[in-house]
A = this chain, B = another copy of it.
Amino acid sequence: MNSKSNKSALKIREGIEQPSQINRKAAKEYRIHKKNILLPDDYLKEILKGNRSVLSKAITLVESTLAAHQEIAQKIIELCVPYAGNSIRIAVTGIPGVGKSTFIESLGKYLTASGRKVAVLAIDPTSTRTGGSILGDKTRMEELSVDPHAFIRPSPSAGTLGGVARKTRESIILCEAAGFNTIFIETVGVGQSETVAHSMVDFFLLLMIAGAGDELQGIKRGIMEMADAVIINKSDGENKLKAEIAKKEYEKTLKLFRRPPSGWQPIAGTCSALTKEGIPEIWEIISRYYEITKKNGWFDKNRQEQALYSMHEMIKEFLTSNFYNNPKISSLLIEQENALKNNKTTSYLAAQLLIDAYKKEIE
C-alpha cells in the first residue's frame, strides 16, 4: 500500500541519521520543547522521521477532547494518511492473567531484534470507570518500553467505546507514518472491546491459558470465532503437557467453525512468553497469514471494509450525539421517559415526538 509514499517517508526517516542534520534536529527539538504545540507540517516531518516524542504528543492531541486540539489532530492525521497503511496490525486479547503484556513484550523484543519496528496501543473501555488503564503501568513491559525500535502507548483514559475506537484507529495511522510496521492492539477480555479491536486489525490473536475452562476464562464463543490464532500461553515447566492438551482441544473447536472469509484456517498453538519458547513460531504463523491474505486479496479488501465500517460508525455517533446533546431534547427526553414508564405513550410515539422536536430545533 502506498509504496511510493512510503519510500519518500523512508528517505526522510533515514535523513535523521545524517551527521549534517544533527544540529538542525537539536534546534527543532528545542523548539518542540518550547512551544509544545507545533504546526501540523512540523508534526508530519517529525513523525516521518520516527520521532517518538512528537508522535506521542500528536497522539495526545488525537485523544484530547478540546476542539482546538482536535482541529490540529485531524490536520496531522490528514497529512499522515498517505504515509500510513504499510504495516501488519495485530490484536492481542484474552482475560487478565493470561499474560498479554509479557507476551507482547516477548514477541515485540523478538521482532525489534529482527529489524521490525513495533508499536503497542490499547483498547480498554473499562478504564473509563476504574480510572486505571491497561498498559498504564509501563513497567509491565520493562524491556520493550526502553527499546528504541518500539513505541508503547497506554490506553486513552476516558470516553465512550466508540470514541476510544476512533482514537485508536487514528493513532494507528500516526504510528504507521512514523515507520512502525508492526502494530499491536492490546484489549482486555470483556466482550465489546474485542469486537472493536477486530474491526481495526488484520490479525486477531486470542491468548489463553491451559487448565481453566472456557467458562472460567470468560471467553465467549463470539470471540473465539474472530480468532485467527488461539495461543495457549504459559506452556512451560509442569504446565507444558496441559498446554499441549488444551491446544489440541482448541484445534478441534476451531475446525468446527465456519471457515472465515479470509480463506485462512485459524490455528491453535502454544508458547511461553517467559521462556520465549514458541515465540518465533507465532511470528511464523502471523507472517504466513500475511502472505496468504495479501495474495488472495483479503488483506486489502478487509482494510477497505474496515475503513468504510468505521466511517459509518462515526456518522452514527455524530448523529446521535448531536441529538442527545441538544438541550431542548434533553428536557423533552426526561418527560417522554416518564410518560413511557407510566404507560402513557409507546416507544414509537415517544421517539417520533422527540424526532419532530429535533427537526424543529435544527431548522
Q: Which residues of A line the B interface, CB within 8 A?
A: 1-2, 74, 77-78, 81-82, 85, 166, 169-170, 173, 213, 215, 220-222, 253, 256-257, 304, 307-308, 310-312, 314-316, 318-320, 323, 336-337, 340-341, 343-352, 354-355, 359, 362-363
Contact = CB atoms under 8 A, between A and B. Distances in A.
Given A85-B343, A166-B348, A173-B346, 16 more contacts: A77-B346, A78-B346, A81-B344, A81-B345, A170-B348, A221-B221, A304-B341, A308-B337, A312-B351, A314-B347, A314-B348, A315-B320, A316-B320, A318-B355, A319-B323, A319-B355
Contacts of A336: 311
**Which of A74, A312, A315, A316: most chain B Cβ within 10 A?**
A315
Contacts of A341: 304, 307-308
A344 B77 CA distance: 12
A351 B315 contact: yes
Nearest to A340: B307
Contacts of A170: 346, 348
Contacts of A310: 347
Given A220-B221, A221-B222, A81 B343 contact: yes
Contacts of A347: 166, 169, 307-308, 310-311, 314
Nearest to A318: B355
Contacts of A352: 74, 314, 318
A202 to B, nearest CB: 16
B340 A308 contact: yes
Contacts of A74: 348-349, 352
A230 to B, nearest CB: 15
Contacts of A351: 311-312, 314-315, 318
Contacts of A320: 315-316, 319
Given A74-B349, A78-B349, A221-B221, A340 B319 contact: no
Contacts of A346: 77-78, 81, 170, 173, 307
A82 B345 CA distance: 9
**Which of A85, A215, A346: most chain B Cβ within 10 A?**
A346
Contacts of A355: 315, 318-319
Contacts of A340: 304, 307-308, 311
B81 A348 contact: no
A166 B320 CA distance: 19
**Which of A2, A166, A318: most chain B Cβ within 10 A?**
A318
Contact of A343 (B82, B222, B344): B82
B314 A323 contact: no
Nearest to A169: B347
Contacts of A323: 315, 319
A343 B308 CA distance: 11
Contacts of A343: 1-2, 81-82, 85
A310 B352 CA distance: 12
Contacts of A215: 253, 256-257
A359 B359 CA distance: 11
